[in-house]
Amino acid sequence: AQTVTQSQPEMSVQEAETVTLSCTYDTSESDYYLFWYKQPPSRQMILVIRQEAYKQQNATENRFSVNFQKAAKSFSLKISDSQLGDAAMYFCAFKIIGTYKYIFGTGTRLKVLA
Amino acid sequence: KAGVTQTPRYLIKTRGQQVTLSCSPISGHRSVSWYQQTPGQGLQFLFEYFSETQRNKGNFPGRFSGRQFSNSRSEMNVSTLELGDSALYLCASSNRDRDYEQYFGPGTRLTVT
C-alpha cells in the first residue's frame, strides 16, 4: 500500500526561527514526485515545494527547503526565518509518475509565535 | 487566469439526503480530481476525471459518484448522506501534460446533521 505518514500533528515555532516538519512515505515505485502543500486557515491549499524523486539535489524555494532521503523514504520540510504568515496546515504528498492519484498525509498544524 | 472555483462553499444537509457539489477548473485544465478532507484523516482521494471519463478512483463507497462535462466542469454527488460524510470537499485541476502541478479550489464544507 502507498502511504504518507506525518507523525507531528502540531508544531510551534518562534517567529524568525527555523522549524522542520517530518514526512515519511511508502511506495515500491521508483519514479514519483513529492510535494509539500500549505493550507492557511480558511484559505486555499497551495503548493509550497516539489521534489522529483530522480533528482538527488534537494529542492529549495526561498525560505523553504526539503531534505529528501530516498532510501529512507523520508521527505522533511525546513522553514527558515519563520513568519506569522507561515501558520497553516502543511500536507506532505506524493504521486507516482504516470498516474493521476495523489496520496496525502494527515497534515501538521504549524503555529508561529510572535 | 481565474482559479479553481467550487460551489456552494457551505452546505448543511440531513442524513439520508443527497448532495451535488460543483467544480470549475482553471481554463485549459481538463483533469479534475476530488478529495475528502477530514480532521485526522487528511486528504483522501475520491476520483479523477479527464475528458468526461473517470480515470482513477479511490476507496470510497458507490454513494460517491461524479461526472465531468464537455467544458471540463465537474460535479460530485453523494447519495444517502451519513453523518461521517461531513467534511471539506476539495477539487483540484491540472493540465495532464503538467500533471505534477495541481491547483486546488477553496472547497465545499458539507455538514450532515
Q: What is the pLDDT of residues B25-63, one digit of tens each?
A: 999 999 999 999 998 788 999 999 999 999 989 999 999
Beta bridge partners of A61: A64
Confidence at B95, pLDDT banded by 50, 70, 90: confident
SS3 A84: helix
Find all residues with CB under 8 Å of B63, minimum gap 6, and list them: B78, B79, B80
Residue ranges of chain A whose CB lies within 8 Å of a chain B CB: 4, 6, 33, 37, 43-47, 50, 52, 91, 93, 95, 99-107
Contact list in A for residue B91 (CB cut-off 8 A) is none
Inspect the interface and report whether the beta carbons of B104 and A44 lie closer than 8 Å: yes
> Is the confidence at residue B1, as pLDDT, over 80?
no
Whose CA is closest to B91, among B12, B13, B7? B7
DSSP result, B67-107: EE-TTS-EEEEE-S--GGG-EEEEEEEE-GGGTT--EE---
- Enter the DSSP assignment of B99: T
CA–CA distance, B23 with B44 (Å, rounded to integer): 17
| A–B CB contacts, 8 A cutoff, strictly below | 53
Inspect the interface and report whether the beta carbons of A106 and B106 lie closer than 8 Å: no
Helices (H), B31-112: none
| Residue from A24, A37, A44 to probe the interface with B (highest B Cβ count within 10 Å) | A44
Q: How far is A41 from chain B (nearest CA, A)?
A: 11
Tens of pLDDT, residues B4-32: 999 999 999 999 999 999 999 999 999 99
The residue in chain B having the minimum alpha-carbon distance to the alpha carbon of residue A95 is B100
Tens of pLDDT, residues A15-49: 999 999 999 999 998 899 999 999 998 889 999 99
Query: Are B113 and B13 a contacting pair, CB within 8 Å?
Result: yes
